[in-house]
Amino acid sequence: MNQNQTKKTFKEKWNDYFARRRYYIALEEQAKQDKIQAKREKEMQKQLEKDQKAQARRDKVTWYKKVKWAIQDFFHKINNSKPVVKVKDALSFVPRKLTRNLTHRKKKALWGVVFVIPLIIGFGYFFLIPFITTVFYSFSHIQTIGLNPVTGDNMGVITENIGFDNYQFVWNQHSTFRQRLLTSFGNTLLEVPLVLIFSLIIAVVLNTQFPGRSFVRAVFFMPVIFNSQAVEVAMKTGAELTAATAETTSTMFQGGFDFSFFLLEAGVPGGVVTFLGNVTSSIYDVITYSGVQILIFLSAIQSVPKHLYEAAKMEGATQYEIFWKITFPMVSPLMLTAGVYTVVDSFLRSDLLSILDYYSVNNFVALTGGLGMVTAHGIHAAMSWLFCLSSIILISLVLIVISRVVFYYDE
């Protein structure tokens, strides 16, 4: 009997212990919930006070608003005055007569065509005609007639079809064009993934909350401003000092540590060492020319619906899973835009442009092998087309590769 009573007492104590434990856990959870609720109410109160202050500032009549209202009232009176109304009626008389029997949809389509006509004219005159002209010039011997002795105007050019002589000179006989074209193609092919990966990582970091975020964003976009043509012309006076500083710095680092030699001595294959050497040597260029891509990815990340992140956090997803399952698929469509921009920007910084500028003058070049003479204008056109074709090929490769990982949320 005493033994049964002892067993029962032990069981009751055990149950009482777990009951108290559950009670204390419930109290802790309730305290946490109360603290979270108090914090939310405090934040809501702060936000409400902030909104009230902002609304009070908007409702306050300042001198700026008075001047703005006076200007608006002045232009409103002028716009509704009788002379202006008569002028508008006279100008709109003919369009009203022409579109009197048209439906609203057709009127909208007609006005759309009217607004597109200047763009079509500009595209045809400034792009399409020169584009087609360079095709003929690349297969022609071009000679200028000269200047008009009276007016001093250019009297035109004489063209003669010479087949592929211009292309043969550019590809086979020019000393540096083919090498520089292939080098630019390879550097761009290497630079595109590096710039895209670096830009996406920096955009994710800049999207987080930390002190000085606006300053860091400005720092990453500053190279885009400093690499503009206006700043480059303004800073040409310091080009020699910059070159001397860069040479001294590179010599100092090379003397301190040779990364490629270290990898070769460690038994790393030569191809891998070359790739890693090119990557490390282009780090500065990657950082310098990633400003626009960072802004593209940052705007894409900020446009991702917030409820996707909230649902993922409620399901217990980690930051790693959120990035690969939500952030990366949602920003992938803009990788096409960033990739094409990177290719175009890389080719615009290529050394080939200096060669093209060299052949922009009118002179003659003798072809070896008895093929006659070719002109600088024909060589310039052939180089431009080879440059254009290489850009198109690289852009097509980028679009094909990136389109395989693109995810469209609406679909």
Q: What are phi and psi of 142, to 5 degrees?
A: -110, 130
> Which pLDDT value is given to residue 117?
92
pLDDT, tens only, 138-150: 888 877 776 677 7
- 27-41, 45-59, 333-347, 348-362, range with the lowest pLDDT: 348-362
Residue owning tokens 């050497």 = 277
pLDDT, tens only, 202-218: 888 888 887 877 787 77
Average pLDDT of the chain is 78
Give the whole-angstrom CA distance, residue 365 versus residue 174. 10
Give the whole-angstrom CA distance, residue 364 versus residue 356. 15
Residue 325: its H or E element = none
Q: If you average pLDDT over residues 184-209, what whole number do you get?
A: 86
Cα angle at 93 between 87 and 97, to 5 degrees?
Answer: 175
Q: What type of residue is 175?
A: S
Top-confidence residue, 209 or 131: 131
Residue owning tokens 């792009």 = 127
Top-confidence residue, 15 or 85: 85
Q: If you average pLDDT over residues 54-79, what whole number do you get?
A: 82
- 23-32, 347-356, 376-385, range with the lowest pLDDT: 347-356
Q: If you average pLDDT over residues 276-297, what whole number do you get?
A: 76
pLDDT, tens only, 216-265: 777 777 766 665 444 454 545 455 555 555 555 445 444 455 666 666 77
> Domains (ranges, CATH) in the chain?
167-403 (1.10.3720.10)
> Which pLDDT value is given to residue 227?
57
Give the whole-angstrom CA distance, residue 310 versus residue 317. 10
Give the whole-angstrom CA distance, residue 175 versus residue 244. 28
> Which pLDDT value is given to residue 253?
44
Q: If you average pLDDT over residues 155-176, what whole number do you get?
A: 81
